[in-house]
Amino acid sequence: MYYIGIDLGGTNIAVGLVTEDGKIVKSISVPTMAERDYREIVKDMAETSKKVVEEAGVDMQEVKAVGIGCPGSIDNEKGECAYSNNLKMEHAKVAEEFRKHLDLPVNLENDANAAALGEYEINGNGAKSFVFITLGTGVGGGVIIDGKIYRGFNGVGAELGHTVMVAGGEDCSCGRKGCWEAYASVTALIRQTKKALEENADTVMHEMVKADGKISGKTAFVAAKNGDKVGLEVVNKYFEYVAEGITNMVNIFQPEKIVIGGSISKEGDYLLAPVREFVAKHDYNRYMQKAEIEIATLFGDAGIIGAALSAKRD
């Protein structure tokens, strides 16, 4: 049997046909055109699903269910998106609407939770407790306990990035000041890089930015690796913000495994080594087995795979 996994983003709808053990057989991505009424977006999701199944040469009868990862506050039981600020959704009946076009069981999850489940299923080794952190435009999170997505009683739990780490600090997109997200996201790294550029005339990053035409999340990393002192300072301070937040999550969850995803995670060991060192030094647990910290491996596919496998589980 197969499952359809849909990763609904603000830019693209990624749809994949996934095997029971989490392998993507075929996937198609189409533009979301997020400004549309959600019913049109859902219709495209269903039509793309049909296309994926057809192009994979699979009979629709072999597809057992559909899982959708959707940004925003999700009511999993009702299959509704209560609110999403990336998409025009307010109490949007996503599951019901989807079934008008393709009559299969639908499981709707928060996109970060779905991605967490994907990483857990593929890289979790059956960990009793598992935390997934994405360092991207924002800082997202997902928690898997005893193999199940932890959603909180109202479905909107595990907003791990929206925990204040620098009280009274930088403005966060959520309205608070000093959230982890405001220090450890790519957006934050770009702000930190910009500040370093303003304060230091003598960094190679000025030329890099001129050549690239912009400051990106890679600017400081590339400079640091090329021996630029200012770039290295930015990167080291950024690592500290990332690791401080991960230490918080370790102290809260003591997860058997914690996996870091999102675009920054592509730095691999360059990110992982200092983060592991910081956490080992600062976490509260000095006497018991330590949480393992790893880099995600699925990247963009985590959303599709996790969404698909969430449908398998519910």
The backbone torsions φ and ψ at residue 272, rounded to the nearest 5 degrees and listed phi first, read: -65, -45
Q: What is the C-alpha to C-alpha distance for residues 148 and 155, in angstroms, rounded to an integer? A: 13
Judged by beta carbon, residue 90 or residue 212, the one nearer a copy of itself is 90
DSSP state of 179: B
Residue 88: CB minimum distance to a copy of itself, A: 14
Q: Which is nearer to a copy of itself, 18 or 143 (CB)?
A: 143
CB atoms within 10 A of CB 24: 18
Retrieve residue 242's tokens.
């990332």
Backbone angles phi, psi at 109, to 5 degrees: -130, 160
Residue 162 C-beta: closest distance to a copy of itself, Å = 5
Residue 137 CB, nearest approach to a copy of itself (Å):
16
Positions that interact with a copy of itself (CB under 8 A): 73, 75, 82-83, 90, 127-129, 145, 150-160, 162-167, 169, 174-176, 183, 241, 244, 247-248, 251-256, 282, 284-291
The residue (of 3 and 241) whose beta carbon lies closer to a copy of itself is: 241
C-beta of 208 vs 242, nearer to a copy of itself: 242
Phi-psi region of 294 (alpha: psi -120 to 50; beta: other; left: phi over 0): beta
Min dist CB 242 to a copy of itself, Å, is 12
To a copy of itself, the closest distance from the beta carbon of 95 in angstroms equals 16
User: Distance from CA of residue 217 to its chain's centroid?
Assistant: 16
CB-based contact 292:15 (threshold 8 Å): no
Nearer to a copy of itself, 198 or 287 (CB): 287
Q: How far is 300 from 284, CA to CA, in rounded Å?
A: 33
Beta bridge mates, 74: 81
Question: What is the closest distance, in whole angstroms, from the C-beta atom of residue 160 to a copy of itself in the complex?
Answer: 6
Cα separation, 41 vs 13, whole angstroms: 9
Q: Indicate the residue type of 53.
A: V
Helix (H, G, I), strand (E, B) or coil at 239: helix
In the complex, least distance from residue 111 CB atom to a copy of itself, rounded to whole angstroms: 15
